[in-house]
Structure 1
């Protein structure tokens, strides 16, 4: 069955009571016992399980090719649950170009003292192999394409290196989604999503998900963290995410086509020093992305000549592209990452990160051209 069909039908069925084709939103926090005290429907308390959340978890598990999915209140809650629940050595290998939220989690919470985090450039497999062999390692955290430098990491090779070292491999698949990249098929032990982004697709919900293969040692501890620490995804957010999943394959194709056109236009502009996007043949990740992804993605970064002041001025002159954090929605968004991330940012001073939305690419290009005209 093709992913377009799975996106519409997985986890759902016509409501047997009403015949409703769209899945109902179940907001109840408690469920009736039978006369013998049992729960014949399998639902007891909304923190433990909920019909709408279960439908979303089942649907995303199918799309990722996993056995089970566990939905959280945010992507960061999902990330934290995997870190806390993996049960292996407290040494975690992370990419040096990582989502800034993880860096903040390490620096500003007890996670940074409970675990040892080693940051490496995972594009260099020899460096990764040396890092995991230096001491017992519990997790190898892979992010590809990376944020905000849009680096592409060899998922299959990185997961194999982790496995040989006795570590679990986790891939953040938020940017690629299961439409463009299939980490479990490439050997990953877990996949993490911020469903807030492309899965929701409309910048109006917050949720996170961990997807696991059959028999994963992560399943019970991560599920128990979800239930007993209370970071469950709300029924309404799950209902919205299920709605978003139905159009995910179509949206991703449109996002990718728009990003390709925008990247090519930016690469030809004299005010742009460089464009970071694997869809460009000259990008270092182009060949690898072509083998492990079915599309080159929807996110790009570009470096404006003249540094931070020039980049901020360009962003300030945009009229259609919105200056805002986050990504994956219908609106195109742009952000000066170095000023957001602070002193530890790996982003060049002139870098602007752009989430290409669903507007017509020529309108986005026109907006960028007028903003770059004075750069």
Structure 2
């Protein structure tokens, strides 16, 4: 299948302040976004795709200005994080739909976040950035779409934190979205996930170079703590069988009996992941987005009108299939349109990025049925 080609990230400034769940509001909010495909004359073919914690607006195609580090391991650094799902003939078919992707509120890849300039001080927000929620992210997306003249969405789709946003759209704006595609997500993070996220945040905040979140412009950043946070997070995205298949107990170059250097291949892999992530992501953004997904707890589903597609993966212990089943059972009991699929795959939470070929026919059929 072909790609959407070279894509330029664009930026839009919201005209008014954005109210937040914490009681504060943000002024001069900028949103980074990309679009793929063409809007229909009736503006009824728009799909919003929402990214996970470490994603950005560049979901498909080749970036016109490739970043230093890409968002996907093993792919060209300029390739969008969901390129296998977005494009002509793909799950989100750009021959049929206009697909819109934004960097979410609180991000560090073009949308206003902790590393952005606070208009009140002229300095980066840092820890003065307000606490945000998934609902705030969706509220920002709604305000952004208003500026594009898009009143209604054919679908909202996303995996992980992106799936939480899709669920929030269905409950917050039930009359403005026709369908949601929720992949490897949940109605609320389970206690084990909350605990691992807490450890990752502690790693950042205990790094002396974090400096209480005011590290911008100091020449020092909490790279060590951020790297450990990424190691912890990355392990939660994988599974024991997946790790065993990929690494086993394979040594790098034989045991050398040193304390500081990695000896096993999995250790070297984690260090590589940490180093790459530190080069492309902001530590404060990690803290804010991690906290937001931890806060998330889906509200009542009785107001949902959107057709709902749930996809989960057998080896995903972080966002387990049982969570999707619970959502499906509730929607079914309420007489809502829902279908739930569990894909048997060994790669843990990362399956939503790795098993695109198996998700594609499910998503294509689901969206097609909505137009018949």
TM-score (norm 1): 0.27
Determine which structure has the larger helix proportion and give its number: 1
* Greater gyration radius: 1
